Amino acid sequence: MAPLHAMLETLGLSVDRASDLAEARTAFFGAGGHDCLVIGPGVSPGLARKVSNALADIDPSMSFATFGPHLRDTARARTARLSSYHPGSRAGQGALLRFLQTR
């Protein structure tokens, strides 16, 4: 995820990191919200579900992109399933950027 993080910051996008639900909530409220939650490939399905559900409850218009577990809740505003890409690859980064640009 480090190359993806660096690329997003190079483009002027603000990026917060979280490794559990409490950190995700703190980052979300500290930033005044987020446009998109990006889930890395090493995240457990249970944690991905907890964080995505909690943040979607707060902001139903929030987008989700996952390089890891499949998010089953189809009621979300927008979800990109990018698990066939590595987040550090140019293809993975390009897929995420295309998703972010199509709002």
Domain residue limits, the chain: 1-6+37-103
* Total count of residues recorded for the chain: 103
pTM of the model: 0.86
Gap between the Cα atoms of 27 and 92, Å rounded: 24
Gap between the Cα atoms of 36 and 61, Å rounded: 9
pLDDT in single tens digits along all 103 residues of the chain? 999 999 999 999 989 999 999 999 999 999 999 989 999 999 999 999 999 999 999 998 899 999 988 887 655 678 999 999 999 999 999 999 999 998 6
Q: Residue 82 gets which letter from DSSP? A: -
Torsion angle of the four alpha carbons 40, 42, 44, 49, in this order, in degrees rounded to the nearest 10: 0
pLDDT at residue 71, as a whole number: 83
